[in-house]
Amino acid sequence: MSDYIRPDNLDEALHALSAKPLTIIAGGTDYYPARVAIPLDDDLLDISAIAGLRGIEERTSDFRLGALTSWSDIIGAELPPGFDGLKQAARAIGGIQIQNAATLVGNICNASPAADGAPNLLALDASLELASARGERVVPLADFITGNRATTRAADEMVTAITIPKPAQGAESLFLKLGARSYMVISIVMVALVIEPDGDRVGVARIAVGACAAVSRRLAALEASLAGTKLDNTLGSFVEALQGLEPIDDIRGSAAYRHDASLTLVRRGLAQLGGRMA
């Protein structure tokens, strides 16, 4: 018979993880639909009763999102425009019931190639706080997800929070998603953009593409080429900016289609942000 553990404090949760491997759940919106065995045979650690893990904290240099922070919490929070892309992703994830239950941390730890949170958090330079009975560590999101459903989290660790540096003054962001329909659909391609201005020019650009490969990826070459330019002068051909993207073939789209769609969404996103920042 499987174990079901629902602690009300972090220390108890970490002690349970140190004793044996457990599957961690919060909202359970990824876990339960994927289970076909009845009864469930996984040993579960349900962290939903640990009140201290929920909430968004604005600190001196960053925002800290606790592990139980839901997509609805993001939608309702007063956050600067640099988080608009993350809010757009939140509104596109499932229906309201899913948004109320599902957490950002769960979305990342599930490590689906089509996780809508991943490109947005990459574009925001997010990091993850991990804790275990052995201690704590911080891992950049870019290093955390290593493949399809694979992360660097050790079996005795749990992610306790996401930290996001405060975007620069005037930063704008955007999220564009291509699917078979507008909402409640797995992405074929998605693009997240964050632009921090320097006067009337691009100071820093961070652009990430998701659902094209096993791991969401930043477009480093394009980001570098945009620095110091005006967005209204950068909308020519930059196919080379997608180098290293390595789109995949699957039932939702071919690699060639994903490549073209990625380029279209990136150009569309830059045009929209250029219009805002003109």
CA atoms within 13 A on the CB side of 265: 27
Instruction: Please write the tens of the pLDDT for every residue from 147-184.
Output: 999 999 999 999 999 999 999 999 999 999 997 555 55
Would you state the pLDDT for residue 230? 84
Least Cα distance to 137 among 112, 163, 115, 118 occurs for 163
Would you state the pLDDT for residue 193? 97
AA identity, residue 110: N
Based on the number of CB atoms within 10 Å of its own CB, is 177 exposed (0-12), middle (13-18) or buried (19 or more)?
Answer: buried
Domain boundaries, the chain: 172-277
Would you state the pLDDT for residue 213? 87
Would you state the pLDDT for residue 125? 98
Would you state the pLDDT for residue 181? 55
Would you state the pLDDT for residue 40? 73
Instruction: Please write the tens of the pLDDT for every residue from 2-37.
Output: 899 999 999 999 999 999 999 999 999 999 888 766
Say whether domain 172-277 belongs to CATH 3.30.390.50.
yes
Weakly modelled stretches of the chain, pLDDT under 50? 235
